[in-house]
Structure 1
């Protein structure tokens, strides 16, 4: 009985793979504040500042001066949980459904670009491409299906770009990525107080970003950027606590978890409509179908290999935005984006209660002098309402409707030498 309880409980603990950020799955969009103002429309073609190291490394060829860019975004998410019920067999499981499971989260970023000559530029980026943080209240009614989740990827990307001629440039950079996570869940323990399972681990792995930028005219350019998949083998430990049936397997065990963050392709166009008004449009495809299952292996005969089906699907995000240059000092931005959720109605869980989302953004850039620009942006995200319907003979059943939204606020400083 204890092994059965642990197997299902641990499987739930490690399926925490979605937050309420501004991109689908557990990806984050916040790698550029200037891009945030247009809902990241034109991300691979704008190349307006050093954040193009991430958006499209080929765009570094458009920057004529050495530049440092630092910024951060804060995300505040809200969830309204309704129609909630939980039971284990004929018994009703008590608990709360506050919906305050996503604390406000900061997403930092920093870039450096230096032109080496008329054709070659070097860049360096530090940013967070994936991450989540969810923490349900201790008495959450669905705590056997979801509890605390923390995952973060930090990436360092050295980059080179080459400009072939006045139209075509390319860029490439390897990415060195460090992932760490801590995931936990309550264990239903009949006749005793709840048990607990917690998984911690980290790893470092290598990927790459590749971009191409083509300038048809000085006012019209198109770009495409490929962000590679990255395969991790998180190594850490599994801790189990509890009395009664769980006492025999309570303890700490070495564990490893395989996880692959998906590749994506971003395509966009930037077109100057007038001397003051510029149109940005783009689409991003992400290969979330790689995320078929979670598999955890524990270095102990007391714990089985655990497999949890996910069956995510590939997604598309589309965005369109406008920027308006009031004068040499001020630029105003706005944009709208739609983003598919990779989850499906059958496998959606309280860990991943997300649906398709719409994002509205506004922003502004202020250049008090030719050497410095300060960018600010605000985004509002609204998801469609989704239903969670989880059933388990060992964790009980949990049903609820989620209505999620989020606010994002960002600021950055660019300085050119």
Structure 2
């Protein structure tokens, strides 16, 4: 009985920025604005600047001078909720969010390059209004992940390079959800508030091959990262008389693994003006099968220990996403970019949650780079994201027969987002 009534999705907030970034699930794609302009097509093969530290560590071998890259993307999401089973189901539950990043890369000699990057690999934030009808399934979710990646690349010969970098990942976050006291002869809602954090290590590795003078192929592997989040679960009672002895904070532990991914792409220089890009990314979302939060020292209620263990069944599926893009060198100072991406949702209608109500995505991007001189480039990009309709249908949960403390919720979500990014590269 200890898992019956208090289920919530702590791992669904692993990340840092927005449910509606340019990556699906909890993935964040905004690690480069020069890449954003082509919808990240060619990310593993283009090596346009030091942001290749994330896109493909081997790409640093293409950089002949030291570079500093800094930038950010802003995501403005819109959420339209319809066919709701509750009276109060307002949309726009994703606030305006920004995604910063920064990189430094420098040649060590003719064969070796060193670099270091700071970026966000995963992300989520959702914030519903207080009276949201699905608040018993999730009301507020925000977790931040920041990754530091020192990196080396090695040029094996004139056509083949490899790169590797360990990743040091810091996670911390907060989730809240509600419980319905009225089922236990009280009134109002109780609140469950979960916080946790951890630091864990993974790695990125890549290979970049110049097949011909015009055609390049790249492959990047982003490893899984195993976390043990430690924090606390806080229970705050409303006006209900039954759960009053649960008030307080309890030590909490969560084991969680972010999925590995493989990104492969090609870059083809058609002529002095046009360059074409294409890519595919596999993400092993099936690692997110079940989440269990263990709480220590919780008292019993009605002979039960209802918050000794908090669990959620996810059953996400692996996905393949695809992107194509092109750039046009207008003149020595200006390059124009465009791209289109398809990114399927890892969650199906029978296991989608209100914390991440995402559907299959289509993304269209435009971008430009301006180089006033050989030492500086300013990149800008705009992306529009549109999702297919996504249905949420979460069942109610009971403490005992006839005592439903987490009513069910169902609704249809139609999501879209505008993304705008800017980046500055300085070479010396």
Scaled by the length of structure 2, the TM-score of the pair is 0.92
Residues 1:286 and 2:283 are matched in the alignment: yes
Once residues 278 and 85 of structure 1 are traced to their aligned partners in structure 2, the CA distance between those partners, rounded to angstroms, is 50
Aligned to 1:359, which of 350, 363, 387? 363
Once residues 126 and 141 of structure 2 are traced to their aligned partners in structure 1, the CA distance between those partners, rounded to angstroms, is 5
Q: Which residue pairs with 1:24 in the alignment?
A: 24
Alpha carbons 1:103, 1:134 under 8 Å: kept:
yes
1:166-245 → structure 2 map (5 Å cutoff):
166-190=158-182, 191-242=186-237, 243=239, 244-245=241-242
Residues 1:376 and 2:387 are matched in the alignment: no
Alpha carbons 1:74, 1:106 under 8 Å: kept:
yes
Q: Which runs of 5+ in 1 are unaligned?
A: 87-94
Residues 1:332 and 2:328 are matched in the alignment: no
* 1:69-91: CA deviation from partner (whole Å, max 9, x where unpaired): 000000111100011113xxxxx
Alpha carbons 1:13, 1:185 under 8 Å: kept:
no
Aligned to 1:96, which of 67, 83, 88? 88
Offset of 1:397 from its aligned partner? 2.1
Alpha carbons 2:7, 2:311 under 8 Å: kept:
no
Q: Which residue pairs with 1:61 in the alignment?
A: 61
Offset of 1:21 from its aligned partner? 1.5
Alpha carbons 2:246, 2:298 under 8 Å: kept:
no
Once residues 407 and 246 of structure 1 are traced to their aligned partners in structure 2, the CA distance between those partners, rounded to angstroms, is 43
Residues 1:43 and 2:43 are matched in the alignment: yes
Number of corresponding residues: 406
Once residues 344 and 10 of structure 2 are traced to their aligned partners in structure 1, the CA distance between those partners, rounded to angstroms, is 25
Offset of 1:15 from its aligned partner? 4.5
Alpha carbons 1:43, 1:56 under 8 Å: kept:
yes
Once residues 331 and 399 of structure 1 are traced to their aligned partners in structure 2, the CA distance between those partners, rounded to angstroms, is 46
Alpha carbons 2:6, 2:310 under 8 Å: kept:
no
Q: Which residue pairs with 1:412 in the alignment?
A: 423
Once residues 369 and 375 of structure 1 are traced to their aligned partners in structure 2, the CA distance between those partners, rounded to angstroms, is 14
Aligned to 2:264, which of 263, 267, 289? 267
SS in 2 for 1:21: coil
Deviating runs (4+, > 3 A) in structure 1? 12-18
Alignment root-mean-square deviation, CA: 1.4
1:106-125 → structure 2 map (5 Å cutoff):
106-125=98-117
Q: Which residue pairs with 1:150 in the alignment?
A: 142
Aligned to 1:389, which of 393, 397, 415? 393
* 1:207-233: CA deviation from partner (whole Å, max 9, x where unpaired): 000000000223210000000000111
Q: Which runs of 5+ in 2 are unaligned?
A: 300-306, 398-403
Once residues 282 and 231 of structure 2 are traced to their aligned partners in structure 1, the CA distance between those partners, rounded to angstroms, is 32
Quick one: structure 1 residues 271 and 184, their matched pair in 2 at CA, closer, same or farther if it must change by over 3 Å? Answer: same
Scaled by the length of structure 1, the TM-score of the pair is 0.95
Tell me which moved more, 268-277 or 19-28: 19-28
Tell me which moved more, 141-150 or 28-37: 141-150
Alpha carbons 1:15, 1:294 under 8 Å: kept:
no
* 1:233-274: CA deviation from partner (whole Å, max 9, x where unpaired): 110000001142221211111101111111000000000111
Once residues 20 and 89 of structure 2 are traced to their aligned partners in structure 1, the CA distance between those partners, rounded to angstroms, is 17
Quick one: structure 1 residues 31 and 13, their matched pair in 2 at CA, closer, same or farther if it must change by over 3 Å? Answer: closer
* 1:67-113: CA deviation from partner (whole Å, max 9, x where unpaired): 00000000111100011113xxxxxxxx4222121001110000000
Q: Which residue pairs with 1:90 in the alignment?
A: none
Once residues 422 and 380 of structure 2 are traced to their aligned partners in structure 1, the CA distance between those partners, rounded to angstroms, is 4
Residues 1:295 and 2:292 are matched in the alignment: yes
